Amino acid sequence: MDVAAFEAAAHATTDAVAWAYLAGGAGDEVTVADNVDAWRRWRLRPRVLRDVSAISTATTILGAPVATPVLVAPSAMHGLFHRDGELATAEGAARANAVYVLSQVATTSLEDVAAAVPDGARWMQLYVQADRGMTRAVCERAAAAGYGALVVTVDSPVVTRRTRDIDRSSFGVPPSMALPNLAPGVEAPDLFAIVEGYDPALTFDDLADISGWAGGLPVLVKGVVRADDATACVDAGATGVVVSNHGGRQLDTCVATADALVEVVDAVGARAEVLVDGGIRRGVDVLKALALGARAVLVGRPVIWGLAVAGADGVHDVLAGLTEELRTAMGLAGCTDAAAVPRDLVGPPR
């Protein structure tokens, strides 16, 4: 099954409120759609007669070898979509040799997930809370559990409005679930109160503290779409940035990530790792991202579609399927090395 088939199957089996949470975005969902369309607007310029008998999707991220440049984007509350929650995601990602970025809003403790993901293949996403003691504690836990990097999400300084009526009256953490990395020890946590606790006063100056609390782990800043911001993040000590608009879930009509990627790569690509997410649905999208200078991509909703349909098997199939599509696209485009995709493989967007 390709990703689109997983989406249809997941829609058919997921309860309506959870589906609205998963599929929806901010405002009129212009950016949700534009993220997908923007990759399609770029055109490939395949090369021929290049001996593609040996193609490798392997690359390095943060200096470490990985089998695929397709990563699991951090996404909240997998317990809503499968009874095994993040443990199923972890198993599927591990089987697909994909790095798993665990959301701080997971319904499974980061320690339990760590036990299910190989060393070197787990990163921890976090939100910086106004209560810095809480943030510091989770940084320390992530370092102790062997996470290889922190992904600090910065596109959510104030609470957004999601179109599909995702508000206190319709959506919450089910009583049977907890958020052990965000509100440890709290029964039936109020998600909206927690989101209101993200620190709106956060600035570039705070990034150094975060890395320090995690024993110097590399920090990637997620949610950057501008050259000046990317430069300021790297100047402040970030090892990399994730070009992301949170899958269109925060600020509607935000620039599509495929279109923002180029200016960020031009600004910091020579001295920092640039990753991208949003709207990646095909191997050709991954190939375009690599050509435009991303080191790797993260995939959000498709992983959850796989999870909802078939647990770990579905997560594996989505990730392995995208990697196989990438391999095919590379061959057809005359490109054998995912770590060295030439910029001129893509033409200007239509």
Q: Which residues bind ligand LAC (CB under 6 A)?
A: 76, 105, 246, 249
Q: Which region, judged by CB under 6 A, interacts with ligand FNR, from 45-53, 112-120, 188-196, 294-302? A: 294-302
Report the residue number, 76 or 291, with the smaller CB distance to ligand LAC: 76
Has 246 been annotated as catalytic?
yes
In angstroms, rounded to a whole number, what is the distance separating the alpha carbons of residues 15 and 236?
43
Q: What mask of x and - would describe binding to ligand FNR in positions 226 to 255, judged by CB under 6 A?
A: ------------------x-xx-x------
β 59-61/70-72 pair status = unpaired
Residue 87 tokens read as 């443990």
- Do 293 and 316 meet the contact criterion of CB atoms below 8 Å apart? no
Sign of torsion over alpha carbons 153, 159, 160, 164 = positive
Q: Does 220 bind ligand FNR (CB under 6 A)?
A: no
Name the minimum Å distance from CB 222 to ligand FNR.
5
Q: Roughly how many angstroms between the first and final C-alpha of the chain, as a whole number?
A: 29
Q: Does 278 bind ligand FNR (CB under 6 A)?
A: yes
Q: Which region, judged by CB under 6 A, interacts with ligand FNR, from 59-67, 70-78, 88-96, 188-196? A: 70-78
Q: Does 217 bind ligand FNR (CB under 6 A)?
A: no
The residue assigned the tokens 């939100």 is 127
User: What number of chain residues touch ligand FNR (CB under 6 A)?
Assistant: 23
Helix (H, G, I), strand (E, B) or coil at 69: coil
157 burial type by CB count under 10 A (0-12 exposed, 13-18 middle, 19+ buried): middle
Residues 215, 221, 223: CA angle, nearest 5 degrees: 155
Strand partners, 299: 72
**From 78, 82, 246, 316, the catalytic residue:** 246
Nearest to 85 by CA among 20, 18, 25: 18
Name the minimum Å distance from CB 153 to ligand LAC.
7
Q: Which region, judged by CB under 6 A, interacts with ligand FNR, from 82-90, 133-141, 186-194, 271-279? A: 271-279
- Do 272 and 238 meet the contact criterion of CB atoms below 8 Å apart? yes
Name the minimum Å distance from CB 105 to ligand LAC.
5
Q: Which residues bind ligand FNR (CB under 6 A)?
A: 21-22, 35, 73-76, 103, 105, 125, 153, 222, 244, 246-247, 249, 277-280, 299-301
**What positions carry a catalytic annotation?**
246
